[in-house]
């Protein structure tokens, strides 16, 4: 696996899954074999956004009824997903032991994929932060709300202090233009840099649009619609991320 990108934000409502699923589709189309990991294992919805109905999940792997490879659902020739299982108490309340087991399962299939996109769970539990920070590049999904700023800052602070991550990539969600996204990014960076000596890079933005709302309702990632500006915006994010990751 060349690179792993973890989409984070803190609490829910910041568009992590929307960003993660469309990035996964885009990387699979533009760059090569991609594995999407829905790290909200007990409350998953990435498979819904992709329009697939997995037969097996991480729960089957933990219970020992299948291998990790068998728990992976193929979405297309170049895209697969590691799905969770809604309502599974063993996944909602994931133990440290099972968290490690999942981590080893992911590592066991790394050679089969060029990229991994991790749709991080809401919050900053130990298992999700370690999954997202140990070997991944953090991509923060940010929206212009005080509560999201606080959640995103808290997540960054943990990654900074506990995992020694000094560079964070930012995608601004639900904004109207690049100018608007830059304004939100600058405001967040000014707040964060008062407390942490880190590097932040704006990789792009996702607008609030009817096209995106329709894609969610239809369970079809909006990246598939090549005629729309939303497709180009994700394409630009992929190019920006890939360029920076190659330089690391």
State yes or no: pLDDT of 123 exceeds 70. no
Torsion angle, alpha carbons of 145, 173, 126, 57, to 10: 130
Cα–Cα separations (whole angstroms), residue 52 to 25, 72, 107: 13, 12, 24
Q: What is the DSSP letter of 121?
A: P
Provide the pLDDT confidence category of residue 63 given band limits of 50, 70 and 90: confident
The two tokens of residue 48 are: 């819904």
State yes or no: pLDDT of 221 exceeds 90. yes
Query: What's residue 174's pLDDT?
Result: 92
Higher-pLDDT residue of 176 and 91 is 176
Question: What domains are defined for the chain?
Answer: 3-247 (3.40.50.300)
State yes or no: pLDDT of 247 exceeds 70. no
State yes or no: pLDDT of 10 exceeds 70. no
Q: What is the rounded average pLDDT for all residues in the chain?
A: 88
The two tokens of residue 56 are: 């097996």
Query: What's residue 38's pLDDT?
Result: 87
Per the DSSP assignment, residues forming a β-bridge with 170 are 140, 202
Alpha-carbon distance 227 to 236, whole Å? 15
List of residues 6+ apart from 13 with CB closer than 8 A: 143, 148
The two tokens of residue 241 are: 């991320």
State yes or no: pLDDT of 41 exceeds 80. no
State yes or no: pLDDT of 2 exceeds 90. no
Helix (H) or strand (E) holding 28: helix 16-30
Torsion angle, alpha carbons of 240, 198, 129, 84, to 10: -20
Tell how strand 137-142 and strand 73-76 pair up: unpaired
């Amino acid at each position: 696996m060349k690179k792993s990108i973890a989409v984070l934000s803190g609490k829910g409502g910041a568009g992590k899954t929307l960003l993660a699923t469309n990035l996964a589709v885009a990387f699979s189309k533009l760059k090569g074999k991609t594995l999407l990991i829905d790290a909200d294992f007990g409350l998953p919805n990435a498979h819904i956004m992709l329009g697939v109905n997995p037969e097996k999940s991480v729960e089957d792997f933990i219970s020992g009824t299948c291998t990790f490879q068998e728990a992976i659902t193929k979405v297309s020739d170049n895209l697969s997903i590691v799905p969770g299982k809604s309502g599974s108490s063993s996944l909602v309340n994931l133990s440290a032991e099972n968290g490690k087991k999942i981590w080893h399962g992911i590592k066991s299939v790394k050679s089969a994929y060029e990229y991994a996109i991790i749709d991080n769970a809401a919050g900053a539990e130990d298992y999700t932060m370690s999954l997202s920070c140990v070997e991944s590049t953090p991509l923060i999904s940010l929206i212009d709300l005080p509560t999201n700023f606080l959640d995103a800052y808290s997540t960054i602070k943990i990654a900074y202090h506990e995992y020694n991550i000094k560079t964070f990539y930012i995608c601004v969600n639900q904004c109207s233009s690049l100018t608007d996204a830059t304004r939100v990014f600058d405001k967040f960076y000014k707040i964060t840099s008062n407390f942490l000596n880190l590097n932040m890079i704006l990789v792009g933005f996702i607008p609030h649009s009817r096209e995106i709302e329709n894609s969610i309702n239809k369970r079809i990632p909006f990246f598939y619609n090549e005629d729309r500006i939303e497709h180009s915006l994700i394409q630009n994010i992929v190019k920006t991320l890939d360029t920076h990751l190659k330089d690391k």
